[in-house]
Amino acid sequence: MAVQQTLRPYVTAGIAIVGCGLIAATPVAAPSANSPTMRQVALAGLPDLLAPWTPVWNQASENITTILQNYYLAPGVAFQQMMANGSQYLQSILDDPSTIPTVVQQLQHNIDSVLTGYTLQDASAETIATVNFHTLSGSDLNNFALGHDLLFQLLPQFLDADTADAMGPIINYMASPASAMLMGFLGPSLSPWVALMNSIQGGDSFSEIMASPLNGWLNGATLDLSFLIPLIAGSGLLPEGTEITHLDFAVGGLLSTGSVSVGPYQVTDQAGNLVDVPAVGGSMFNSLGISLQTGILPGVPLEIASHGVGPIAALQAWGQTVGALLGSGWTGKGPVEVSPPWPGISFPTLPDDLFDDGGAGSSASTDFAADLAGFFGFGD
């Protein structure tokens, strides 16, 4: 309760920010300057012209390394887990036909989890918790580093019942894999322009300006939303003594990996060493960055960094999310030891006594047929 009381002004302020996330999902025109500014650009040599492209390449290389490492953990992990589950369910039915109702119930549960988990509409608390590991950044309360996961959990507790009911589906969608797909596929078309605008407004050199669109397209860019702060402050939604000092929205590039609370994934390499692989993923909610100051902790800013996600990482994270919803175990906060589900895939075998009555009237085959007939409503 002490943590919740301390964070109450922050979370209340976050209520106002949720709406800004929806606005920031579309391109926002930057406010024009009062007067045009002429900048002098000095001619530079070839090394100076090429220098800004080095960090662009290095960041892209780091991102693609993370994406490939996630892929190599288990290519098509969602399909692998589905096949592993299917083979186990079929073997269970062949071994004991009376498990058919249990298997059908589990299949229905899995389908419902995946369908509702994509948009988080009408999803169970279990499904929301599993999905959020792959769509929201994590918090470290020991170091007072807050992430979007804690903001998502505490936000409804500081809303009245009517507002919570109205905002719940919107907040859930903003934290869903569907919103990650939306931002991931819109990002590469928006981020070059955001990066170019940031570079020009920042007074960068000619070569840095020329490199900025490619950097945005590959690695994403951050849109400054500080011009919305006065509007939010004037709305009266912020608690007394609380002030928003910074607001931004991260737009992912083609290779942007995002940052989520699950993992890191841990695998053992050929030398027997344990290797950490950062997880990929994100959401619209995860793209929002905010800095606050409050009277409770004067001079101590609360900062939640924004994390953009690209299309490749969004698709990859959705596959890993589906695998987790189907029981892969690729979930949880902190290091997660992972293994590909494919070792659990095997062709079912028939029991030796399935068609052998042994001369008795009550054979295994008779029991199998009776159980099967009973399941479909053809019993006595």
**Per residue in 10-30, is it b (16+ CB within 10 Å) or e — as a string?**
bbbbbbbbbebbeebbeebee
Q: Are 221 and 244 in contact (CB under 8 A)?
A: no
The two structure tokens encoding residue 171? 């907040």
Residue type, 88: Q
Assigned domain for 335 exists: yes
Lowest mean pLDDT among 142-151, 293-302, 315-324, 344-353: 293-302
Q: How confident is the model at residue 40 (pLDDT cuts 50, 70, 90)?
A: very low
Q: Is residue 171 part of a domain?
A: yes
Residue 102 within a domain? no
Indicate the burial class of 186 (C-beta count within 10 angstroms; 0-12, 13-18, 19 or more): middle
User: What's the mean pLDDT in 356-363?
Assistant: 53
Between CA 268 and CA 246 the distance in angstroms is: 41
Edge-to-edge strands of the sheet including 243-251?
221-224, 243-251, 288-293, 302-304
Encode pLDDT of 123-159 as tens digits: 999 999 999 999 999 998 777 788 999 889 877 776 6
Select the more confidently predicted residue: 15 or 60: 60
Please name the residue that has the structure tokens 């619209």.
284
Sign (positive or negative) of CA dihedral 155, 156, 162, 167:
positive
The answer to the question of residue 159 being in a domain is yes
Q: What is the pLDDT of residues 214-230, one digit of tens each?
A: 999 999 999 999 999 89
pLDDT greater than 80 at residue 89: yes
Neighbours of 331 (CB within 10 A): 21
For the segment 199-226, the average pLDDT, to the nearest whole number, is: 95
Q: Are 308 and 260 in contact (CB under 8 A)?
A: no
Percent of the chain with pLDDT over 70: 78
Residue 270 lies in a domain: yes
Whole-Å CA distances, 294 to 149, 151, 298? 21, 16, 6
The number of distinct structural domains making up the chain is 1
In a domain, 47, yes or no: no
Look at residue 31 in the predicted model and tell me its pLDDT. 47
Scanning the structure block, which residue is given the tokens 């036909």? 97
Q: What is the pLDDT of residues 90-122, one digit of tens each?
A: 999 999 999 999 999 999 999 999 999 999 999
Handedness of CA 225, 228, 233, 235 (dihedral sign): negative
Establish if 360 belongs to a structural domain: no
Rounded CA separation 249/308 (Å): 8
Residue 378 lies in a domain: no
pLDDT of 175: 97
Q: What is the mean pLDDT of the chain?
A: 84
Question: Does pLDDT of 33 surpass 50?
Answer: no
Could you tell me the pTM of the whole model? 0.82
pLDDT computed for residue 12 by the predictor: 57
The per-residue pLDDT for 42 is 46
Question: Would you state the pLDDT for residue 292?
Answer: 84
Tens digits of residue pLDDT in 62-86: 999 999 999 999 999 999 999 999 9
Domain containing residue 229: 12-23+62-79+112-340
User: What is the Cα–Cα distance from 235 to 232, expressed in whole angstroms?
Assistant: 5
Contacts of 322 (CB under 8 A, 6+ apart): 77, 78, 81, 114, 117
Question: Residue 88 above 60 pLDDT?
Answer: yes
Residue 11: which pLDDT band, with cuts at 50, 70 and 90? Answer: low
pLDDT of residue 50: 81
Q: Which neighbouring-strand residues pair with 267?
A: 275
